[in-house]
Amino acid sequence: MAMIEITKETYRPYKEKMQKTIHVLQDNFNAIRAGRANPHVLDRVMIDYYGVQTPINQVANIQIPEARMITITPWDPTTLKTIERAIQASDIGINPNNDGKMLRLTFPPLTEDRRRDLVKTIHRYAEESRIAIRNIRREALDKYRAHLKKKEITEDTLSEIEKSIQELTDKYIAEIDALVVEKEKDLMEL
């Protein structure tokens, strides 16, 4: 039975999965609107553009002329109504103002209750990400415990792998916690 060699490459697939989890969390956080205008709130809003579901930023110019306003100017003026309906149907919670050439989204200041709800949402997203990271850890450990059973690695090697994977897990959980603190601070500032 050939022994498996453990190198830095051994952990790469798990590290990449954990990084993807962090990217998904950042995308989720970007989609949560704070009191300021943020073009990322439109990232998940799709329109039917000639039969294809297309993000708004691919069919219009999105600008932030003021701290609490986003303007959307479609390149094809016939899509203005479609974009307006898509924004109204989305969970952004802002009704666009249509002047016939562009849409204006004015972000009202968040109420204290809405801020608390958004903080609960970010904590839920963070917990889902922590669970995903721990599942990746479990997947890795299960794989190497199976190698131990097949006598492809030694118990000392398994112990080393468990330690390395736990360090990786701790690093990404700490990154999640830092993102939560940053987003919570962003939401709670007036």
**pLDDT digit string (tens) for 14-23?**
999 999 999 9
What pTM, to 2 d.p., does this model score?
Answer: 0.73
pLDDT at site 179: 95
Band the pLDDT of 28: cuts 50, 70, 90.
confident
Q: What is the DSSP string of 95-132?
A: PPEE-SS-EEEE-PPPPHHHHHHHHHHHHHHHHHHHHH
Tally of CB atoms within 10 A around 136: 22
**What ranges make up the beta strands (E) of the chain?**
46-49, 52-55, 60-66, 69-74, 97-98, 103-106
Answer whether residue 190 shows pLDDT above 70. Answer: no
The pLDDT-based confidence of 34 (bands split at 50, 70, 90) is low
Work out the average pLDDT over 71-91.
Answer: 90
C-alpha angle 83-88-89 in degrees, rounded to nearest 5: 95
Average pLDDT, rounded, for the chain: 88
Average pLDDT over residues 169-188: 92
Residue 171's φ and ψ, nearest 5 degrees, are -60, -45
Q: Is the pLDDT of residue 24 over 90?
A: yes
Residue 1: is its pLDDT beyond 60? no
What pLDDT was estimated at residue 15?
94
Residue 33 confidence class, pLDDT cut points 50, 70, 90: low
Q: How many CB atoms lie within 10 A of CB 12?
A: 10
Q: What is the DSSP letter of 67?
A: T
Instruction: Give the neighbor-by-neighbor strand order of the sheet with 97-98.
Output: 60-66, 69-74, 103-106, 97-98
Has residue 169 got a pLDDT over 70? yes
Q: Which domains, ranges and CATH numbers included, belong to the chain?
A: 11-30+111-188 (1.10.132.20), 36-106 (3.30.1360.40)
Residue among 141, 45, 50, 120 at smallest CA distance from 85: 45
H or E stretch at 136: helix 112-149
